[in-house]
Amino acid sequence: MSLALIVLTVVVGAVLAAAGTAKVAAVPDMRARAAHLGFSVASYRLIGGLEVAGVGGLAAGLAWAPIGIAAALGLLAMMVGAVVCHVRAGDRLVEAVPAIVVGAAVVAVVVLQVRTA
């Protein structure tokens, strides 16, 4: 296992844990984002729960690569879905940049996981 994999996993995990927890807690900003993107608060909470679960999978992947790879691929699918939702909502590209950056970081986690598996 490489130091790069550990650091990237921790950074991606921290970002997604913060975003997911805010969605689960339904903080006012997340309620507004849910409405803007066409989701109910309950659906957005579910998305947040999946993000938090994905973080757990990334962390477990440091001990067993296959679960980390699976979690990262699931998170990548979520980030692609987030970009699609922003496009459908008519947002500018800048609104989708966080999902694009996190998606790229998740791809890097997958590559590092595969190289060390």
pLDDT below 70 — which residues of the chain?
none
Count, residues in the chain: 117
What integer pLDDT is reported at residue 105 of this predicted model?
Answer: 97
DSSP 90: T
What separation in angstroms does the CA of 103 have from each of 8, 25, 26, 27, 53? 12, 23, 23, 23, 16
Is-contact 113 68, C-beta < 8 A? Answer: yes
| Whole-number Å distance between alpha carbons of 2 and 82 | 29
